Amino acid sequence: MRRRTRTPAAPLAQREGIDPARVRLPEDPGARWATVGDFLRARYGGAVGDARVAEMLRDGRFVGVEGPVRGDEPYAVGLRLWFHRDFPAEERVPFELGIVHRDERIVVVDKPHFLATMPRGRHVTETALARLRRELGVPELQPAHRLDRLTAGLVLFVVRPGDRGAYQTLFRDRLVGKEYEAVAAYDEGVTLPVTVRSRIVKERGVMAAREEPGEPNSESRIELVERRGGLGRYRLLPATGRTHQLRVHMNSLGLPILHDPVYPVVREDGPEDYTRPLQLLARTLEFTDPFTGTPMTFVSRLRLSGLG
């Protein structure tokens, strides 16, 4: 049985709270690459152009454990390299993160609307993870779970990498109590409370998730808390965590969440309208700490504005 070799520590520091990308040169049965530079141009040239790869090599931005590579080194299977990608231009989300709890193991924050939890796609440095690493000076901080970019509320981050798996397991095994709050249309014809179960499918590259026939993979309990005119305040209790689950289930009831840019109709892409945040809030998190056995309950300090 082949032992897995431990990946060495990155020789590059984080930049703006973002870890360097890592690449390991693979087996080359066809001898396609004579040099390290040949491989890097084949791997990344299609995305950024061969000229940009050559420029990064000249600037010493591809770094191995023994230092920067020039690109003319002979190809070596298993060689590990690190580098920082070019960050996209990002508009700063004009809302701050609120620290709800911090100790030696975890940080619980109130994530504002419009801020992604972690780097993905065109949102890289303007994410909760990158901001927290910079602001708290905790470079190894990692999220235990993810909250949709347009949803506000509680997110749990883990301080030490070795602890992360234990907290992630709580979410995986549905040992975390989660309560959300939403503002949406009121319809006296919709009988509440109700438990919605359906099969939700989310395809990569497609903005909206959809429900389709088949065995349910999602479950949410929907309760009406308050009514004001044509709007209602709802308590949402998800038993599962499919992408966009609460938004899909509210929409399926004919109660789309206020200011939702995807359900029931996907709006055209354009500048963010920070005056119309999705009226969905991750309000509470409850769990038993896997290390201390202490029951933990956190309540968001944010408030939805949809009902005034």
Strands 194-201 and 106-111: unpaired
CB 77 within 8 A of CB 27: yes
Q: Furthest-apart CA pair in the chain: how many Å?
A: 72
CA distance 235 to 238: 10
Strands 98-102 and 106-111: antiparallel
Q: Which two tokens stand for residue 8?
A: 């060495």
CB 143 within 8 A of CB 118: yes
Q: Any catalytic annotation for residue 148?
A: yes
Burial classification of residue 27, based on how many CB atoms lie within 10 Å of its CB (0-12 exposed, 13-18 middle, 19 or more buried): exposed
Q: Taking the CA atoms of the chain, what radius of gyration do you get in angstroms?
A: 23
Among the listed residues 148, 163, 269, 273, the single catalytic one is: 148
Q: Cis omega (within 30 of 0) on the bond before 119?
A: no
**Residue 82 phi, psi dihedral angles, 5° rounding:** -125, 150
Q: How far is CA 164 from the centre of its chain?
A: 15
Q: How far is CA 80 from the centre of its chain?
A: 26
Closest listed residue to residue 74, CA positions, set 113, 25, 109? 25
The catalytic residues are 148
